């Protein structure tokens, strides 16, 4: 029996993009990177674990903020090179800016405009 992780088309750095999506609303909350270990840990724990490229280490989402992502489902796209995590975002905040989603700006009239409010000041989170 082959390992399910072998089906993933990892990039040259051994990573795959992972999109976290709210399992209830379908809203895209964030995008991060996963390596083989983080994807396996996510499946085992039932909580999102990513690979932090800037820190060069595993990042259990919510380890500092408490904003854990409980996994409902892990999906692999048709090209086997993108993961979608259906999650329950504990605390309702996925973004380090204190917002529900990292995708809180829209392009309007040639400028990026912030449309989502800060739910909690990041200074109170970290």
Q: Where do the structural domains in the chain lie, given as residue ranges?
A: 4-125
- What is the C-alpha to C-alpha distance for residues 49 and 38, in angstroms, rounded to an integer? 5
pLDDT at 125: 86
CATH of domain 4-125: 3.10.20.810
DSSP secondary structure string, 57-95? EEEETTTTTS--EEEEEEEE-TTS--EEEEEEEGGG--S
Tell me, letter by letter, the H, E, C secondary structure of 109-123: CCEEEECCCCCCCHH
For residue 72, give the nearest of 90, 58, 52 by alpha carbon.
Answer: 90
pLDDT mean for each 10 residues of the chain (126 residues): 88 98 98 98 98 96 94 98 98 95 98 97 88
Kindly list the distances between the CA atom of residue 26 and the CA atoms of 58, 65, 123, in Å, as whole numbers in the listed order.
Answer: 26, 23, 28
Q: What is the pTM of this model?
A: 0.92
């Amino acid at each position: 029996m082959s390992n399910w992780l072998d089906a993933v088309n990892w990039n040259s750095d051994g990573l795959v993009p992972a999109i976290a999506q709210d399992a209830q609303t379908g809203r895209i909350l964030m995008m991060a990177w996963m390596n083989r270990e983080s994807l396996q840990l996510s499946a085992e724990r039932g909580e999102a674990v990513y690979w932090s490229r800037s820190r060069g280490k595993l990042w259990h989402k919510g380890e500092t903020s408490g904003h854990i992502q409980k996994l409902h489902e892990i999906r692999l796209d048709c090209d086997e090179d993108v993961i979608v995590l259906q999650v329950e975002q504990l605390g309702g905040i996925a973004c380090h800016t204190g917002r529900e989603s990292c995708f809180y700006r829209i392009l309007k009239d040639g400028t990026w405009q912030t449309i989502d409010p800060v739910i909690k000041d990041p200074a109170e989170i970290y």
